[in-house]
Amino acid sequence: MTKTCFGCLAKFKKTTDAPIPHPYIGAIAECWDVYGEILNKEFSDPAYFKVHRTTVDAYGAQHIGSREDRRARQSANVHLIALYLTVSKKASREETLMFIRNATKIKRDWPSLIQRKSPEWLTVQDIVKADNPLSHAHLVTRWGQSIWEAYEDCHEDIIRTYKKVMREN
């Protein structure tokens, strides 16, 4: 029996009936567990950790959560903007972190983003297969790019939100 993650839409072998594992990230427990495997690999080896920022932003942007929850809207927007900075602007890790700090300093009301229904993107199931740091970095980079591309119809709004947040700080 399989379960479909309502965030990334990947199919997982059903292993649990556990509740949603995070208060505002829209993922099923099986997907969250695979994400945890990836994080464990990154935190255990500096060579894997080099793309950690993109890993976090890709997962957060891919798993939007409830449109009614301010925290979920913030997470979706901040992670998508971070992907914009990383993928499109080729911003440094420091510049991306500066934006994230500024963006989360105050609890503002973020716009809703609509979860993609049939995206062509990579998921944690693709990333977890990497068997060396170079392959991992390549897959994580492609993962971030595939998510940014999936939201192509929102790029102007996302960039406008980024500029507004940076003006407010």
Q: Quick one: pLDDT at residue 169?
A: 64
Q: Quick one: pLDDT at residue 124?
A: 98
Structural domain for 158, as ranges: 2-168
Q: Quick one: pLDDT at residue 167?
A: 85
Per-residue pLDDT tens for 14-54?
Answer: 887 777 788 889 999 999 999 999 999 999 999 999 999 99
Number of independent structural domains in the chain: 1
Query: How far is it, in rounded angstroms, from Cα 40 to Cα 18?
Result: 21
Q: Are 154 and 84 in contact (CB under 8 A)?
A: no
The pair of structure tokens assigned to 139 is 């897959």
What mean pLDDT do residues 76-92 have?
96
Q: Quick one: pLDDT at residue 78?
A: 97
Q: Quick one: pLDDT at residue 146?
A: 97
pLDDT greater at residue 59 or residue 21: 59
Q: Quick one: pLDDT at residue 19?
A: 72
Q: What is the pTM of this model?
A: 0.93
Per-residue pLDDT tens for 148-163?
Answer: 999 999 999 999 999 9
Q: Quick one: pLDDT at residue 75?
A: 96
Per-residue pLDDT tens for 94-152?
Answer: 999 999 999 999 888 999 998 888 899 999 999 999 999 999 999 999 999 999 999 99
Which of 71, 150, 64, 151 lies closest to 103, judged by CA? Answer: 71
